Every structure is written in C-alpha cells, then in structure tokens.
Chain A
Amino acid sequence: MTLAAEGAYRAADRVDALIDRGTKRRIHLIVTPEGIELPVALAEHSERLVAFLCDMLFWLGTTLLIYIAAIWLVVELGGPLVAFTLITLIAFLVRNLYFIYFEMMWGGATPGKKIAKLRVIDRRGGPLMPAAVIARNLTRELEVFLPISVFANLTSHGASANWQSFFLLIWLLLLSGLPLFNKARMRGGDIIAGTLLVSVPKRVLLDDIAEQASSAYRFTSRQLQAYGSFELQVLEELLRRTPSEETSQLHETVAGKIAAKIGWSDPVPPSQTHDFLKAFYAAERAHLEREQAFGRIYQDKHARGGQDAG
C-alpha cells in the first residue's frame, strides 16, 4: 500500500477504533464452522434507517420507471383499467421481491445496505440460506407497510377515527419497534429467520510499531512490569495518531508519566519523545507477549496485585 493511501485510511481507522472501543457498538459473537469465534458489530438503528430509506428510494424509483414504461406501452393495447392493473401488480412484485432478490444475490446486502455498509448474516454463523432471506422479508409487510396503511387510514378519517384502528396502530408500532427492545437489535423478521443485521466496515493493516523501534533504549524487566496489555494498547493508539502539535504534546505528557512510573532517571529531550515511546512500546509488548506465552496474562497495571512482582 502506498503511504498516501495509508495516511488517508489512518484517520478513518482511528475513528473506527474509537467508536468500537467507546463500547457504543454492540458486539455479537458468532462461531464459524471452523470453530473460531468472530465478533461482529451490530448495526446501529440509524444505519438501519438509512439503509431502509435508501432502499425505499430505489424501489420507489424503479416502480415509477416501470409505471411510465407500462403506461406508454399499454395505452395503445388495452383500456386504462388494464394499464392500471398491470402497474399495481408490478408495484406489488417489486415491493415484495426487491429485498428478497438482492439479499439472495448479493449475499445479504441490498443497495441501501451496501451504502450503509451493512449485511444480513446468519445468527449462528452458518451460510445465509434463501429460506432465511424469504422469512425475514415476508414479515416486512406486517412490520412496515401495514402500520403505514393503518396510519394513512386513521388520518384520512380525521376526527372520527375509530378506536379499533388506533389500538391496532399502537400494537403494530410496538411490533415494528422490536429492534429497540432486544439486545441483538433484531426486528421480527430477524427473529423468525434467525438472522442479524451487522456492520462490516473495512479495516486496514497498519505498520508494526515494534518494527520501527530503535534499540537505543533498554528497559529492565522490573520496569516493564509496571503496565499491562490495556495500557499497551492505549499507547499503541497514541502512537498511531496522525502527527500534529496536539499529538506531540500528548506524547510528551505520556512519556513524562511513564518515566516517573518506571523510575527512568535519564531525562528524555522533547525531540526524542516519540522514539522513547516507541522503544518503550516495543519492549513492553515483547515483555507482555513473552509472559503471555507462559500463561501469565496481565490485563492492565492492576492485574499484578496478587502476584509476586519479582
């Protein structure tokens, strides 16, 4: 990958990582047929809405185009009633087949979902079967289109609206709002079909910071015992930030804290801060990875409490 492209990705990737670790994204674990656990990020409600609105736009547009073509074709052939009927049939088919067709052909994505970077997956980690796609989309009629028509019915009657439709509407809205009420954010169709809507953004492999570390700094194992893997990964995130005034100030503060914590006696000049942090990162990672290889896992700096620090 070229440096320029990497630079462009770096910022986006950092935002991704921040969102992910800001625990706003809910994670669901699936197990692949090979037995490996993979965490997937559940789709946000907003993403879901964007995807759905895009799809609405697409299928309404398609239907409109078909309308125009059908009117143009049929005006010659039959009466206006026939034209009208053909159009409603096509609209019905497009409405019901749009989602099924794309989710089956594009592996769980529709054009709208592609825009929002979402995909439908099997909840238990198997392949997405056609039956599941059909199941999750047949219920759409109940969850989306029926409440809309009941609502339209209710408003068109105005003040004389009957209570029956009102309660029906509330009940249907509760059903449509199902994704808001369950942990995996499934709508009714997802529950019946055993599917999940997940977000699959692209991630970029960045350079290994440990490879860039200079060997000018040496740390003792006692010094390296000060931290655990959490602090290591925070440091990694700091080192991966795009260079700026703000970043280098942050680096200086952090370097100062680390030096105080591990008892580093030599002063680190500001021009050397970045190198010092990199070297410390590499040494700390080497240390923690070696410990981990022997089954001693230190989650963070407090994890060593019960153990013999020597």
Chain B
Amino acid sequence: MTEVVGPQKARPLQLKSSEFRRLREPAWRELEGIIARMESRGLGALRPEEFERLPLLYRSTLSSLAVARSIALDCNLLLYLENLAMRAFLNVYAPRSSLIEDLGRFLTTGFPVAVRQARWHLMLILAVFLAGGAIGYLLTIGDETWYGAFVPESLSQGRGPRSTRSELMEGELFAPWPGVANSFIVFANALFQHNAIIGILSFGLGAVAGVPTLLLVGYQGMVIGAMLALHANRGLAIDFLGWVSIHGVTEIGAILLSGAAGLVVAEKILLPGPHNRLDNLSIHGRHAALIAAGAVMMFLIAGLIEGGLRQLIQPTVLRFTFAGVTFVLWLAYFLFAGRQTMRGRT
C-alpha cells in the first residue's frame, strides 16, 4: 500500500452522492408522503398547501433523478427515485376534471368536432350503405325469396313474402301503441342494446383494416333495402319510409357514424402518414372512439324514439315531419356545435 488516495487520508470517506442525498432527501420524503396519501385516498386527502407544493416537489424530484443518474451509483437510490418520480408523474398528470364536466365538453365540442374531422369517412360509409340498400332493394323487388336471405328471423318478426298488405299495415306500420311500459322500456331497450353492440363492433372491427366494418354497414343497408322492397310491392313504400324515418334518421346516423369511426382506425392502420404507425393510430384512434361513444348515445335516443314514439305518431305526414325535424337538428349539431371553441383554441 504505497500511494493512499488523497482526500481519504485525513477524514472519513465523503461521497458526493451521499452528500447529495442528505440535502435532497427531506423533499423526497415529503413527496412520498403526499403521493402515498393521494394513492390511497385521492386528491381530497391533501391540504391546500400540500396541493400547492406537489408540482414543485415533483419537479425537484425529477431534477434529483437526473442528477443522481449522473453522479450516483447507489442502485437502491436510483430505483427509488425512478419509482417515486413515476408515481408522482402519474398523480400530477392525472386528469382532474369531473365526470359531468367531461360529458359536457364531450357533447358540446368533442363529439361534433370529431365527426367533422371524419366527414370523408362518413361519405364513404354513406356510399356503402346506400349501395347495400340498392342491392337489397333491387334483388328483393323482383324476387321476394331474397327477403329471407337479407333479413334474419329475429328482425323480421314473422313478416316476409307471405305477408299481405293489411297484415303489414295493421301489425306493423300502424300497429296500436303498446303502452308506456312496453314501448318506452321493453322495446326501446332491446333495440338500443342490439344496435349499440353493432355500433361498437363496427368501430372495433376498424382495427382489422376496416373491411368487416364496410361489410357490416353494407349489410345493414341491404336489410333496409329488402324491407323497403317488400313494402313497395304492396304499395306501402311511402308509409314504410315514414315508419322507418321517424327513428331511422337518428339510428342510421349512428350506424354510419360508428362505421366512420371504424374507418378512421382502419385508414391509420393502412396509411400511417408522417408519424410512426402506432403514434398516428393512437392520436386518431381516440377521435374515432369519441365518435363511437357518441354513436352509442344516439342509439339510445333512437331506441327511445323507435320503441316509444313511433307507434304513438300514426299519420305518415306527421312521421315525416318528425323525421325532418330530427334530421335538421342533428345536421345543425354536427355542422355548428363546438366551432367557436375550436377557433378560440387555435
């Protein structure tokens, strides 16, 4: 042992990293205490002055971590700081709005803005839907045996090529109103659940390049087309359209929107654009999810109209009027809602 390391000769070993830790540790401990309470009891557990100090302590801990990474080799210290910074990060950047507030913002801006951004997808979906409708109509109008191929039994409820004009009029188009409980609750709910799942699926199926989404929407068009043809052959085309449109404006709108949401996802998978595919997908996937969630709400409204109001409003003229009003309202909502806020932001 010839040469002895200089500074160690006189006094016990002094490590820069230990000194650093002694100086900063009180702040880490304070942050740790605050975070632990937030994790177990939420934001309400903090006193106002602690809430004030939280971002400060978080940033000083981040800077401690950066310093520790360059000067310290104490593994436990580094892991602890990384863990503390991560936990603080999650709590500091947790979204802090209330559910009602979120819902309000979603309805006034999020949903209509997302829909406007997806207008081209919506156009494509509309075209596919109309094409499906045309195919269903043209095939069924010539040969009614096609009806069974398009419309599943659960949907046709016994109606088909053998139904007569009066059966359709009395049992379907102008059937008596079944009463509050049955119409608003039973029927509306069954319709809503069925449609909402179809809507969620057409969004989700966008993740597999959108082909199933297109098929699903096209198929919905075929069902409507086939039904229209069945009624047209019995001279009931106008009455049928009135009967469908009263809720159809909302319901078909929702079908198209969830389809468009699926296409937004599909487009970003197929054509990633300037960003990396995953990043791009996540940005647009969220917009698409907003559209799909809004569509589910529209299905709820459509279910209520279909189950509750359709048989209550009997004359076809009134039905068309109602449908026209809902159409204008939806159009105005999607065209104009949230524009002000967006302009203010940019």
Cα of A192 to Cα of B75 in the assembled complex, Å:
36
Q: Which residues of A contact B205 (CB under 8 A)?
A: 142
Q: Which residues of B contact A240 (CB under 8 A)?
A: 76
Known: A107-B94, A127-B94. A139 touches B207 (CB 8 A): yes
B254 at the interface (CB under 8 A from A): no
Known: A38-B86, A283-B8. A194 touches B3 (CB 8 A): no
Cβ–Cβ contact B86 & A40, under 8 A: yes
List B residues 67-95 near A (Cβ within 8 Å): 70-77, 79-80, 82-87, 89-91, 93-95
Chain B, interface SS category: helix
Known: A105-B99, A220-B4, A220-B5. A134 touches B293 (CB 8 A): yes
Closest to A136 in B: B289
Cα of A79 to Cα of B1 in the assembled complex, Å:
97
Cα of A78 to Cα of B189 in the assembled complex, Å:
15
Please report the number of residue pairs spanning A and B whose Cβ atoms sit closer than 8 angstroms: 231
Chain A, interface SS category: helix
What is the total number of residues of chain A having a CB less than 8 Å from a CB of chain B? 88
Cβ–Cβ contact A215 & B72, under 8 A: no
Cα of A139 to Cα of B106 in the assembled complex, Å:
19
Cβ–Cβ contact B93 & A221, under 8 A: no
With A142-B201, A200-B86, A237-B75 given, can you name 13 additional A-B contacts, CB distance below 8 Å? A17-B79, A86-B189, A92-B193, A124-B282, A134-B292, A138-B204, A208-B18, A213-B12, A213-B13, A215-B8, A229-B73, A286-B13, A289-B72
| A/B interface sample: 18 pairs, CB < 8 A | A38-B85, A79-B181, A88-B189, A96-B296, A108-B90, A141-B204, A146-B201, A191-B278, A191-B281, A201-B83, A203-B79, A205-B25, A210-B18, A218-B8, A286-B14, A286-B15, A287-B5, A293-B71
Which residues of chain B have a CB within 8 Å of any CB of chain A?
A: 1-5, 8, 11-18, 21, 25, 28-29, 32, 36, 59, 62, 65-66, 70-77, 79-80, 82-87, 89-91, 93-95, 97, 99, 102, 106, 110, 181-182, 185-186, 189-190, 192-193, 196-197, 200-201, 203-205, 207-208, 265, 278-279, 281-283, 285-290, 292-293, 296
Which residues of chain A have a CB within 8 Å of any CB of chain B?
A: 13, 17, 20, 32-34, 36, 38-40, 78-79, 81-82, 85-86, 88-89, 92, 96, 101, 104-105, 107-108, 119, 121, 123-132, 134-136, 138-139, 141-143, 146, 175, 188, 191-195, 200-206, 208-211, 213, 215, 218-222, 224, 229, 232-233, 236-237, 240, 282-283, 285-290, 292-293
